[in-house]
Amino acid sequence: MKKFFEEFKKFALRGNVIDLAVGVIIGGAFTAIVNGVSNDFIKPLLAWIMGAKPEEILIGEAQWSWGLAASDFVSTIINFVITALVLFLIIKFFNKVSGIGKKPAAPAAPTTKKCPYCLSEIPIEATKCAHCTSELK
């Protein structure tokens, strides 16, 4: 059982799995926004154009109104923001966990330097500049 969890941890902490999960969740949340625009504004408008009576145009069980449509839409947006925020915190946590025990790569030792006369990049061992032929100490 312990090995199972080890494997699962390895699997879940791989970057592409997390990226995929983020894509699916954000995609779902964004779909909710699109559905919200459609249900709150486009469908009622179409129903009105097609000649439905105002009392027949509903959001859920209630009769459509600007206030109801707007509050419905704003709550959809807030849901999206909360989803994204929670997701961000989870990713931050995962990044922290997966970063534990990893040493940051040491920066590579410099192999070039700048010539003090012409400011060209030259090999660090050079005693004469290849660009301006100045003698270097």
With contact defined as beta carbons under 8 Å apart, do 116 and 136 qualify? yes
Going by C-alpha positions, the residue among 21, 29, 22, 24 that lies closest to residue 79 is 29
Query: Closer to Zn ion at the Cβ: 36 or 129?
Result: 129
Smallest distance from the beta carbon of 135 to Zn ion, in angstroms? 10
> At 36, which helix (H) or strand (E)?
helix 15-37
CB of 131 to Zn ion, least distance (A): 5
**Distances in Å between the alpha carbon of 4 and those of 7, 9, 12, 14, 15?**
5, 9, 12, 16, 19
Which is nearer to Zn ion, 32 or 132 (by Cβ)?
Answer: 132
Shortest reach from residue 123's CB to Zn ion, in Å: 12
Residues that bind Zn ion (CB under 5 A): 115, 117-118, 129, 131-132
Minimum distance from residue 15 beta carbon to Zn ion (Å): 44
Choice between 16 and 111, CB closer to Zn ion: 111
The dihedrals phi and psi of 33, each to the nearest 5 degrees, come to: -65, -45
Quote the strand ranges of 4-106, DSSP E. Answer: 58-59, 62-63
Pick between residue 39 and residue 129 the one whose CB is nearest to Zn ion: 129
